[in-house]
């Protein structure tokens, strides 16, 4: 729980306030197409007025807002380092090398299987499902069109791989957000997610092998992309050194910021070696504003332009606002009241994980925003996992399995709208083939039945 509760409310009143907030956020995001920041600010203002009507002082309300936001400072600092890591990995050739060898390694394998695996690799390397889908995904849609393959299945494979990467990458905002929201070390969180991710990956891979058409010829679009990747980037085994360093430190359970720092420093050194004309001033600009690729292939420019501290500001501001709102929801007794009403039924791992999953999925459909589904669900159920004696990494895993990967399946969700727009495939058409996203919630609930991957504190 974020902090002590100041009010004791009847359940109906707490539910009514929560319904008003979520309904207003839903209308603003889904109906009016707003960015989520303003609806959350409006909700904060509403909660502040509600608190004043209930007799709380301005000082108490402001303290609740600040306490809520301060609980996410760990994620905020990690986001800064992620931004610098992404831009430095682009400059050093680490991300381009991951993409280049990923394409070549799987080029002779079944089409949909290759799409799924390559987008998974790129997704883990980049840490952004949106970037993966908008760049590599678009290239694969072009390839599928040329081969007369199913665009719906291709899009399902792209979404599955991109959001596997978004879920598992140490560079991903949602991965860091899930771990920080409930206070689980980043790499311990990633390791624990293997219990559901590996089975989902295997089942999804088999399904795409079965569905893949007979092998066709590689398209000019893919060949052009790979040639430009090789011409304009540093492609070599040396570029993998930062990736190896980060992976090694992760296995040694070194905390996130030192691990990310090592990845940044090593990639900056490689970037200077690779490009003697690179100055300290230019590198500073890259770390702050992001790396910019300047090639004759627009798709390559898109995928290899980004990162930097500036690129994290949208996520950081949203996280701070959402956590501040969460702080008020706890301070005013709204979430504690609802949880107390449910508490008598949350007596087993299955019931607790199922409630977590349903809440995160419901928020995705109701609000259309994956960050809010992670933040609100995590803070709402954190205390109950502790009370039943379960390690909170079970909660952080459930948040990813039901919060992160569900949003692209929601036609009016932020990810669903984005993916459908960039791939040109309606959400309802690719949803049946987004096997990884569909399997993840099922497997996380199944873990409550089997107790596999669950541990006591």
Q: For the segment 205-225, what is each residue's pLDDT rounded down to a tens digit?
A: 999 999 988 765 456 666 777
Strand partners, 291: 306
| Segment among 8-22, 64-78, 171-185, 323-337 with least mean pLDDT | 64-78
Task: Give the pLDDT mean for 109-113.
Answer: 86
Torsion of the alpha carbons at 133, 139, 142 and 147, rounded to the nearest 10: -110
| Segment among 114-128, 272-286, 409-423, 434-448 with least mean pLDDT | 409-423
Task: In the chain, count H helices and then E strands.
Answer: 24, 0
Can you tell me the distance from the alpha carbon of 385 to that of 182, in angstroms, rounded to the nearest whole number? 10
175 near 167, Cβ under 8 Å?
yes
Please check whether residue 42 lies inside any domain of the structure: no
Question: What angle, rounded to 10 degrees, do the helices at 73-92 and 94-106 form?
Answer: 70
Give per-residue burial for 420-431: e unless 16+ CB within 10 Å, then b: bebbebebebbb
Please check whether residue 332 lies inside any domain of the structure: no
Place of tokens 């809010």: 372
Please check whether residue 245 lies inside any domain of the structure: yes
3-state secondary structure of 158: helix
Please check whether residue 430 lies inside any domain of the structure: no
Please check whether residue 296 lies inside any domain of the structure: yes
Joined together, the tokens standing for residue 438 give 């569909």
Please check whether residue 176 lies inside any domain of the structure: yes
Domain of residue 91 covers 74-312
Q: Give the CA distances from residue 400 to residues 30, 106, 126, 340, 457, in Å, rounded to whole numbers and listed in that order.
A: 22, 27, 17, 24, 20
Task: Give the pLDDT mean for 77-95.
Answer: 84
Number of domains in the chain: 1
Element at 137 (helix H, strand E): none
One DSSP character per residue, 271-307 reads HHHH-TT--HHHHHHHHHH-B----S-HHHHHHTSB-
Question: What angle, rounded to 10 degrees, do the helices at 11-26 and 313-331 form?
Answer: 160
pLDDT of residue 4: 63
The pLDDT-based confidence of 201 (bands split at 50, 70, 90) is: very high
Residues 6+ apart with CB under 8 A from 292: 301, 305
Q: Does residue 2 register a pLDDT over 60?
A: no
Radius of gyration of the chain (CA): 22
Can you tell me the distance from the alpha carbon of 28 to that of 36, in angstroms, rounded to the nearest whole number? 8
Q: How crowded is the C-beta side of 203, counted as CA atoms within 13 Å?
A: 15
The pLDDT-based confidence of 282 (bands split at 50, 70, 90) is: very high
281 near 334, Cβ under 8 Å?
no
3-state secondary structure of 452: coil
Give me the helices (H) in 169-218, please: 173-181, 186-211
Joined together, the tokens standing for residue 317 give 């501001």
Q: Is 410 left (phi over 0), alpha (psi -120 to 50) or beta?
A: beta
pLDDT digits (tens, 9 = 90+) for 340-387: 777 767 778 888 889 889 888 987 877 667 887 888 888 878 888 888
Please check whether residue 308 lies inside any domain of the structure: yes
Q: How crowded is the C-beta side of 403, counted as CA atoms within 13 Å?
A: 29
Residues 6+ apart with CB under 8 A from 155: 137, 141, 419, 423, 425, 429, 430, 433
357 near 402, Cβ under 8 Å?
yes
The pTM is what?
Answer: 0.69
3-state secondary structure of 183: coil
Can you tell me the distance from the alpha carbon of 119 to that of 102, in angstroms, rounded to the nearest whole number? 9
Joined together, the tokens standing for residue 54 give 């209930």
More confident residue, 226 or 269: 269
pLDDT of residue 16: 92
Joined together, the tokens standing for residue 171 give 């560079």
Mean of pLDDT over the chain = 83
For the four alpha carbons of 129, 130, 135 and 139, in that order, the dihedral sign comes to positive
Joined together, the tokens standing for residue 399 give 């948040």
Please check whether residue 211 lies inside any domain of the structure: yes
Backbone angles phi, psi at 128, to 5 degrees: -135, 115
């Amino acid at each position: 729980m974020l902090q002590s509760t100041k009010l004791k409310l009847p359940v109906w009143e707490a539910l009514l306030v929560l319904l008003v907030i979520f309904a207003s956020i839903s209308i603003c995001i889904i109906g009016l197409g707003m960015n989520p920041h303003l609806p959350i600010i409006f909700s904060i203002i509403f909660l502040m007025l509600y608190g004043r009507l209930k007799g709380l002082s301005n000082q108490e309300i402001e303290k609740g807002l600040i306490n809520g936001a301060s609980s996410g400072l760990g994620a905020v600092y990690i986001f800064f380092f992620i931004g610098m890591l992404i831009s430095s990995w682009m400059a050093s050739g680490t991300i381009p090398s991951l993409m280049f060898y990923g394409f070549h390694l799987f080029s002779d394998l079944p089409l949909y299987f290759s799409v799924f695996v390559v987008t998974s690799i790129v997704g883990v390397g980049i840490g952004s499902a949106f970037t993966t889908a908008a760049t590599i995904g678009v290239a694969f849609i072009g390839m599928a069109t040329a081969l007369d393959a199913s665009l719906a299945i291709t899009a399902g494979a792209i979404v599955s791989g991109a959001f596997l990467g978004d879920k598992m990458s140490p560079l991903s905002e949602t991965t860091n957000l899930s771990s920080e929201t409930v206070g689980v070390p980043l790499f311990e969180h990633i390791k624990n997610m293997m219990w559901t991710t590996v089975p989902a990956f295997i089942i999804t891979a088999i399904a795409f092998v079965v569905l893949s058409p007979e092998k066709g010829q590689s398209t000019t679009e893919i060949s052009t992309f790979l040639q430009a990747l090789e011409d304009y980037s540093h492609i070599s085994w040396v570029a993998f050194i930062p990736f190896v360093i980060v992976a090694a430190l992760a296995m040694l359970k070194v905390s996130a910021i030192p691990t990310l720092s090592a990845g940044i420093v090593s990639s900056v050194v490689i970037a200077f070696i690779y490009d003697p004309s690179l100055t300290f001033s230019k590198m500073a600009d890259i770390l702050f504003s992001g790396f910019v690729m300047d090639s004759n292939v627009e798709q390559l420019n898109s995928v290899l332009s980004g990162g930097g501290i500036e690129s994290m500001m949208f996520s950081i501001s949203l996280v701070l606002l959402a956590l501040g709102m969460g702080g008020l929801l706890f301070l005013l007794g709204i979430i504690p009241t609802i949880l107390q009403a449910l508490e008598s039924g949350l007596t087993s791992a299955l019931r607790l994980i199922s409630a977590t999953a349903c809440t995160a999925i419901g928020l995705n459909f109701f609000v259309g925003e994956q960050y809010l589904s992670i933040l609100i669900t995590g803070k709402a159920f954190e205390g109950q996992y502790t009370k039943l004696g379960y390690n909170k990494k079970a909660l952080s895993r459930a948040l990813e399995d039901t919060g992160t990967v569900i949003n692209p399946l929601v036609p009016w969700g932020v990810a669903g709208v984005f993916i459908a727009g960039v791939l040109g495939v309606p959400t309802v058409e690719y949803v049946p083939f987004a096997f990884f996203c569909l399997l993840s919630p099922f497997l996380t609930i199944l873990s409550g039945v089997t107790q596999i991957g669950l541990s006591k504190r």
